Amino acid sequence: MANDEFNIADRLRISAEMVPNQRAVVFPETRDAAGRVAWTHVTFRQLDAEVDAIARGLIGLGVLPEHRIVLMVRPSIEFIALSFGIMRAGACCTLIDPGMGKRSVLRCLDTVDPDGFVAITPVHVVRRLMPWRFRNARFNVVVGPPTRRLGCESYRQLVDAGRRCNISLPTTTATDSAAIIFTSGSTGPPKGVHYEHGMFNAQVELIRDRYQIQPGEVDLPGFPLFSLFNLAMQVTSVIPDMDPTRPAAANPELIVEAIESQNVTQAYGSPALWNRVGRYCEERDITMSTLRRILSAGAPVPNHVLKRMTNALEPSASFFTPYGATECLPVASISAREVLQETATLTAAGKGTCVGHVFDGMRVKIIKTSFQVVPEINQAVGVANGQIGEIIVSGPVATREYFHRPDATEMAKIKDGHSFWHRMGDVGYFDDAGRLWFCGRKAHIVSTPTGPMYSVCCEAIFNNHPAIYRCALVGIGAKGQQTPIIVAEPELGKFPASDRDRQQLRDELLQLGAQNPLTASISRVLFHRSLPVDTRHNVKINRELLAGWAARQAIE
């Protein structure tokens, strides 16, 4: 085999050879009348055989390397098998978050122009109702009850056909297309991030080595795609009983039940998920003794979440907050204990959120913030430690392009000889200890006559108030002349009930702001019952939408 021959599904095959009888995926199939959960599972050997059958079945349908196959299936054993099966067939597995809404999903599908759908019945119904839109979608499989009206094979038929044939599997390389994964769209329309097989492999290596993840561990992935990393590391995946598009609405009792009953050693989830679990554990004085580590990403994790979750773990266990993006993950990481002991007070004072030390093998620079294309790295101006600028990243997990979005690719990439740097779209700085700090999204900078104001830095000042759950800095007016406004979401049950209460809470918040030079110029505070957030993590505040709301409030 040539050195560059590689398919990320090869990692599953290796796992199946090393630990054939270990459980690969565990799924909460049903509950009995007493509420007891019945778990079903497949071993690594069984899963690898099913993936092989899926790949051969797809090739038998006519799927060729780099055909774009949209996968829209609920978290399940089938979802994981299909993800690997599509990639083992050499096709490009296209993943779109259904939680982003019908209009955004259709816009993403228009961009992809899929060659086929492997999806649940409702998706195929929409496909059939819009034949002009999906005229090139020729290879279709329904996951669920088969019906002739959908005009496609069932999942079971696909697997059975694949097991009966001896079609050769294609050879792929590390730089071949593996997947298109769409961003959450929290700061603009979702974009398709083009992943290569080698990039997935690099992610597995970086995550495994940084967190010392061992074969035989058991993980509960709150984001379905993270199951693929587990299987490449001989780690069992326990699918949680939750809607992954609504982590803020997850039932914490079911999460804790899964962790305890399945001896889960590692778990990944949005800060919104751990906010619910942490409060639940605090109320019931629960310690999740099997856990060795928890990972949480998607947005800065509030200190109150870090405190509650740390208290819910054994002293030897850790809560980590890796930093990255769909386009480049992971980049840096820090533990909750380091945050609480060393950086939390600085965050509360407006210094930003510390995201820790950069992963081995990754490079990070801070350059002068620019809203223009930067064609070559020698045209980027570096800044000194402690000075806020734009974060750029280079390394094996940095993706090269957005699918069919040359304009977005040009804006997000900086050439560096035969390599490149990815512009994270974030601003931050390095401290003297070599730790990276996050100060907010570049798009969320409020540009005032006295200079830029950074969202994460300013919001932390007001988040110190015990009645405030979270808040958002927005600006109204023209760039350079914007008026800064804080929109605050009080804790549950703390929303001011009267005009007098509202004014008192507003005065208290303005007094907090006046004590810090970063926020002393803010003279307006608005209250919102529930800040709009992204659909994937339920924590990224949609400040663009909120700015429009704030502007209308200012007129009234």
Which H, E and C letters describe 319-357, residue by residue? EECCEEECCEEEEEECEHHHHHHHHHHHHHCCCCEEEEE
Contacts with 169 (C-beta within 8 Å, 6 or more apart), sequence order: 52, 55, 56, 59, 88, 89, 90
Which residues of the chain have a pLDDT value below 70? 1-3, 147, 186-187, 555-556
Q: What is the DSSP letter of 300?
A: P
pLDDT at 97: 84
Distance CA 19, CA 235 (A): 10
For residue 424, count CB atoms less than 10 angstroms from its CB and return exposed for 0-12, middle for 13-18, buried for 19 or more.
Answer: buried
H-assigned helices in 114-164: 121-129, 155-164
Q: Is the dihedral of CA 108, 110, 113, 119 positive or negative?
A: positive
pLDDT at 463: 96
Q: What is the pTM of this model?
A: 0.95
In the structure encoding, which two tokens stand for residue 339, read together? 């945050």
Do residues 231 and 80 make contact, with C-beta atoms less than 8 angstroms apart? yes
Q: What is the set of domains in the chain, with CATH numbers? A: 9-30+38-196 (3.40.50.980), 352-444 (2.30.38.10), 448-555 (3.30.300.30)
**Largest interatomic CA distance in the chain:** 76
pLDDT at 3: 55
Q: What is the DSSP letter of 247?
A: G
Residue that has been written with the tokens 């990276």 in this structure = 436
Find, among 404, 533, 551, 389, the residue nearest to 483 by Cα. Answer: 551
For residue 15, count CB atoms less than 10 angstroms from its CB and return exposed for 0-12, middle for 13-18, buried for 19 or more.
Answer: buried
pLDDT at 1: 39
Residue that has been written with the tokens 């939750």 in this structure = 242
Find, among 442, 470, 424, 460, the residue nearest to 544 by Cα. Answer: 442
Do residues 337 and 318 make contact, with C-beta atoms less than 8 angstroms apart? yes
225: phi > 0 → left, psi -120 to 50 → alpha, else beta; which?
Answer: alpha
Distance CA 276, CA 469 (A): 13
DSSP string, 83-128: HHHHHHTT-EEEE--GGG-HHHHHHHHHHH--SEEEE-HHHHHHHH
pLDDT at 555: 66
pLDDT at 186: 65
Question: Phi and psi for 392 in degrees, rounded to 5?
Answer: -125, 150
3-state helix, strand, coil in the chain (%, to 5): 35, 25, 40
- pLDDT, tens only, 301-332: 999 999 999 999 999 999 999 999 999 999 99
Strands 483-490 and 293-296: unpaired
Do residues 182 and 324 make contact, with C-beta atoms less than 8 angstroms apart? no
